[in-house]
Structure 1
């Protein structure tokens, strides 16, 4: 049986995409289980009580990702 876990959206940074039914892909600063907050990219329900799969990044990981994305040429 899955254990309960806690999370707190410390800061809402922005919405990447708006989906059907009000679910949005968002970049937020989230504290999981009372730990220090990390950058988090995932889909959230309108009330932020349910979430989809996502990715969590430390500050250094997000900086590396930004540098990598800056090298991509989008057609």
Structure 2
């Protein structure tokens, strides 16, 4: 299995607490263009869980989707 390389370009925020924190960052994976990335990380950013990445256009559409929702009325 090939080694995975990553560079956190900017930390945007954390949406979780605990030993592993769910974070929103801008990350370049394997020297490719950076994307918005959401996943859990250990405190040293050496280990991570599976996550999801978004291009700028995908992030804009996701933002529009969340802005259109009334989260207080969703059954969850």
Q: Which residue of 1 aligns with 2:12?
A: 13
Q: CA deviation at 1:15?
A: 0.3
Q: Which has the higher strand share?
A: 1
Q: TM-score, normalised by structure 1?
A: 0.91
Cα deviation 1:36-61 (Å, max 9, x = unaligned): 11000000011000000110000000
Q: Which runs of 4+ in 1 moved over 3 A?
A: none
Q: TM-score, normalised by structure 2?
A: 0.90
Cα deviation 1:1-36 (Å, max 9, x = unaligned): x211100001000001113xx210000000000111
For structure 2, the 5+ residue unaligned runs are none
Aligned-residue RMSD, C-alpha: 0.7
